[in-house]
Amino acid sequence: MPTLRLGDTAPDFTQDSTAGPISFHEWIGNDWAVLFSHPADFTPVCTTELGKTAALAGEFAKRGVKPIAVSVDTLESHGKWVPDINDTQDTEVDFPILADADRKVATLYDMIHPNALANATVRSVFIIDPKKTIRTTFTYPASTGRNFDEILRVIDSLQLTDSHKVATPANWQDGDDVVILPSLQDPTELAQRFPKGFNAVRPYLRVTPQPNK
């Protein structure tokens, strides 16, 4: 199938998980979701990633984001792996791990890259909004663990820029200055939207304090 692109509707599916059967779009509801894949159970990098996701449960929750993992191993295998994650990472996995032994989800989301891994998933990440639209994708090799600070940073940027006519500059962190969209030129609207003012470094580069802070 063709590669999923930003702006596409996230494919729906029904699949078993450690939290019972998941109907994906229904499960997302009115929240955001982060779907991320793992090459296999009982692998060292994946164990640290799932532990980190569990440790960040509060950070995801306050952003209205539901994390969900997928591995091509069986539900029985997941059930044996989760206690290892909890024990070695000193946490409690409380989000679903999809059991994708038939590779239905991996195929829908193009997570198997034969030139990298013959029959397992690469480390894919999909950030999906409440409209079920794919907003961001990442793909990592099996050897490289994901940066969850970056995943949260991107979610912060998406949620901010959805509600304000701004974009976030390089290395932006929540609370830093942002830039005003070049399409916004009306002086009255600029004054209303940005009462703290802005610094016009160039006509196209106008820096302003983050408007929701």
Q: Active-site residues: which are they?
A: 46
Q: Which of 169, 175, 185, 179 is nearest to 205 (CA)?
A: 179
Could you give phi then psi for residue 208, rounded to 5 degrees? -140, 150
Cα–Cα dist 66/89, whole Å? 20
Q: What is the DSSP string of 92-161?
A: ---S-EEE-TT-HHHHHTT---TTT-SSS--EEEEEE-TTSBEEEEEEE-TTS---HHHHHHHHHHHHHH
Number of neighbouring beta carbons within 10 Å of residue 116: 15
Between vectors from CA 206 to CA 202 and to CA 211, what angle results, nearest 5°? 175
